[in-house]
Amino acid sequence: MMIIHTVADLRKSIDYSKSVAFVPTMGNLHAGHLDLVAKAKLKAECVVASIFVNRLQFAPHEDFDSYPRTLDEDAAKLSSVGCDLVFAPSERELYPVSQTVKVLPGQGLSEILEGEFRPGFFTGVCTVVLKLFNCVQPDFAFFGKKDYQQLMVVTNMVSQLALPIEIVGVDTKREVDGLAMSSRNGYLSAAQRAEAVHIYLALCKMRESFKSGQPKEQVELEAIRYLSTRGWSPDYMSIHLAQDLVASPPPFYSEGLQFVAIGAAKVGSTRLIDNLHF
């Protein structure tokens, strides 16, 4: 496996006679990321993963500085699952001048949920993802469904900008108790880690209550109350149509429609997100 730090070397190293799959990451890899690589390997002859902590998607009060940088461990993990090439540019390499040209994902999808609580987040994500796509020029790109809204925003960007890339969403990997794998789980103390599963349990309860006939609004309020009572600070716990997060879903469950219960909440100072499709 090659580890490459510059765009010029990357362009020289990829054999474009082969199909190329790309897995963008911010490093500090866990089994969920490795599963993206495994799925990418099934789809293409060459798998490229990137490791880059993207300043543009962090607000000033967020964890850009403390985000774990673990390149050596990450490279060993990627190599163990057969990744062909790791692109790990420095900030100076990817943003040699201030990145004033940005991708605005537009009104609607990027302004709700994560976009409401993390203004500018999706502009940062789309800008780096498009730039990485231009560096790697993959045929396929793999994103985890834990960041379901991100997957939808990137899919929309690719479609609206007519990029010749197939976006593939991969199911969330969970710990034994159900907690979605996330690099940010590493911030949790032992007590917080034990508590963290309750965001998943709250989503399971939302699914169960909604499917058994409770109105959407009540289900959402109960989930917020459940987590708040346990000491969490929830941003949102809400039910949407899975294929259109912006559309107003029906107030009651309806067979034949695909829903997603989606949430974000802080346990201590660690913000976790998760979602369940049903």
Query: Side chain identity at 7, as an amino acid letter?
Result: V
When asked if residue 237 is in the footprint of ligand PAF (CB under 6 A), the reply is no
Which residues are catalytic, by number? 33
The C-alpha atoms of residue 183 and residue 272 are separated, in whole angstroms, by 10
Nearest CB to ligand PAF, comparing residues 24 and 263: 24
The answer for residues whose C-beta is within 8 angstroms of residue 12's C-beta and 6 or more apart is: none
Q: Are 165 and 158 in contact (CB under 8 A)?
A: yes
**Residue 117 Cβ, how far from ligand PAF at the closest point, in Å?**
15
Q: How far is the CB of 227 from ligand PAF (least distance, A)?
A: 23
Pairing of strands 259-267, 270-277: antiparallel
Residue length of the chain? 278
Of 150 and 209, which has the nearer Cβ to ligand PAF? 150
CA distance 261 to 65: 31
Q: How far apart are CA 124 and CA 131, in angstroms?
A: 11
**What is the closest distance, in whole angstroms, from the C-beta atom of residue 138 to ligand PAF in the complex?**
13
Query: If binding is defined by CB under 6 A, does position 89 make contact with ligand PAF?
Result: no
State which of residues 21, 129, 151, 239 lies at the interface with ligand PAF (CB under 6 A): 129
DSSP string, 86-142: EE---HHHH-SS---------SSGGGSTHHHHSTTHHHHHHHHHHHHHHHH--SEEE
Residue 125 within binding range of ligand PAF, rule CB under 6 A:
yes
Taking CB under 6 A as the criterion, the residue among 10, 14, 22, 25 binding ligand PAF is: 25
Among positions 169-208, residues that touch ligand PAF (CB under 6 A) are: none
Q: From 57, 135, 64, 154, select the one nearest 99 (Cα to Cα).
A: 57
CB of 194 to ligand PAF, least distance (A): 25
Q: Interacting stretch for ligand PAF, rule CB under 6 A, among 121-129, 160-168, 191-199, 259-267?
A: 121-129
Q: How far apart are CA 270 and CA 254, in angstroms?
A: 34
Residue from 24, 105, 138, 234 binding ligand PAF (CB under 6 A): 24
Under rule CB under 6 A, residue 32 binds ligand PAF: no
Is position 88 an interface residue for ligand PAF (rule: CB under 6 A)? no
- Minimum distance of ligand PAF from residue 112's CB (angstroms): 17
Among 225, 256, 218, 255, smallest CA distance to 239 is for 218
Quote the CA–CA distance of 78 and 180 in Å, as a whole number.
20
Closest CB to ligand PAF among 143 and 253? Answer: 143
Site string for ligand PAF, 50-69 (x = CB under 6 A): ----x--x------------
Binding residues for ligand PAF, per CB under 6 A? Answer: 24-26, 54, 57, 125, 128-129, 147, 150
